[in-house]
Chains A and B, each alone.
Chain A
Amino acid sequence: KQEVTQIPAALSVPEGENLVLNCSFTDSAIYNLQWFRQDPGKGLTSLLLIQSSQREQTSGRLNASLDKSSGRSTLYIAASQPGDSATYLCAVPSGGYNKLIFGAGTRLAVHP
């Protein structure tokens, strides 16, 4: 059974810091991994989708890496800003085109 874990659960940093959010999964047979952002009380915004054949995906100040063999992904946020404050979720499909298994999320607060 696929399980997804995210650490840290919460993070509070001053503006300008570079951040690393971690995601690990127990079953390495995944097609891809998605990172999402969720603002309080809102839906999910897709940030990055990284395919199992890829090692990295970049979008602006965000960079996601994937190491399937070790069951890990990291989301790197460069030069953090207060507008980055949100909960970041990673998710993997459970098999086929099927349900996404979500981690519990990392709650990020960036203060000026």
Chain B
Amino acid sequence: SAVISQKPSRDICQRGTSLTIQCQVDSQVTMMFWYRQQPGQSLTLIATANQGSEATYESGFVIDKFPISRPNLTFSTLTVSNMSPEDSSIYLCSGGGGAGFSYNEQFFGPGTRLTVL
């Protein structure tokens, strides 16, 4: 298994600003993902964070709005840019793959609760 931490755990931001969320895994993982969970909804994948290359975004999500970095096998960041109240959600990162993991198994961080005023 993997232990995943996220910073910050929550934040309240003004519209038009940007917030960068950090995700740290306690072991090397092949895959890291970023999900969004809007109030009362289930999880939707934003993108796959690829080490050493550009992230792979899902339909409806673009790099200008959600730039992602993944400098190594244990760390990734997600930036929510030019925020509006519609971006108020819980943002979760997940990781999996590699030695000691079952194929396709993912572990999740505690989430970052974002409120945009």
* Contact (Cβ within 8 A) B113 A46: no
Inter-chain contacts of B33 with A (CB < 8 A): 99-100
* Contact (Cβ within 8 A) A97 B108: no
* Contact (Cβ within 8 A) A51 B102: yes
Q: Is A34 an interface residue (CB 8 A)?
A: yes
Residue among B1, B96, B104, B107 with the highest chain A CB neighbour number at 10 A: B104
Near B by CB (< 8 A), chain A positions 8-43 give 31-32, 34, 36, 41-43
Q: Which of A45, A46, A89 lies in contact with B42, CB distance below 8 A?
A: A89
A97-B31, A97-B97, A99-B48 as given contacts; A105 in contact with B103, CB under 8 Å: no
CA distance in complex: A104, B40 (Å): 9
Closest beta carbon of chain B to A93's beta carbon, Å: 5
Inter-chain contacts of A51 with B (CB < 8 A): 102
Q: Which of A44, A49, A89, A100 lies in contact with B45, CB distance below 8 A?
A: A100
Residues of chain B whose beta carbon lies under 8 Å from any beta carbon of chain A: 1, 4, 6, 30-31, 33, 41-43, 45, 48, 58, 90, 92, 94, 96-97, 102-111, 113
27 chain-A/chain-B pairs, Cβ below 8 angstroms: A31-B103, A32-B104, A32-B105, A34-B105, A41-B111, A42-B110, A43-B4, A43-B92, A43-B109, A43-B110, A43-B111, A44-B43, A44-B94, A46-B1, A46-B107, A49-B102, A51-B102, A89-B42, A91-B43, A93-B104, A97-B31, A97-B96, A99-B33, A100-B45, A102-B43, A103-B42, A105-B42
